[in-house]
Structure 1
Amino acid sequence: MDAIQQHLLDTYRAARLGEPAPPPPGRHDRTTLRDLYRHWLTHPSTGEQPARRLRTDP
């Protein structure tokens, strides 16, 4: 079952129970990624392991 089918099933169940419909899939993706990036920038890695660095090889 993919995300769209699950969303349709959840919407149907919510309608049958008189509950509000769930948000569509992918609605909060941009906000979640932005929050994760900000967390990564503001919380330095621990001293146990060195931080991973991006490769700069050509």
Structure 2
Amino acid sequence: KNASNDVDFSKEAIKPPYSYAELITLAMRHYGQSKVLLSDIYDYVRKNFAWYRKTDITWQ
């Protein structure tokens, strides 16, 4: 959950307040690597942010 407003972005299809750069950084931290495959970044974002599962694939 996001502590600032108690939204669970993995379950609620609400656009997260993060830039693409921030989402990439979150994915890299999750995997613990400085180099991450693009497909892994997409998977991380879709898994953790319902908004990107519901929206058109053009965000990729």
Give the alignment's TM-score, normalised by structure 2: 0.28
Which structure has the greater CA radius of gyration? 1
Larger RCO (CA within 8 A; separation ≥ 6): 2
Give the alignment's TM-score, normalised by structure 1: 0.28
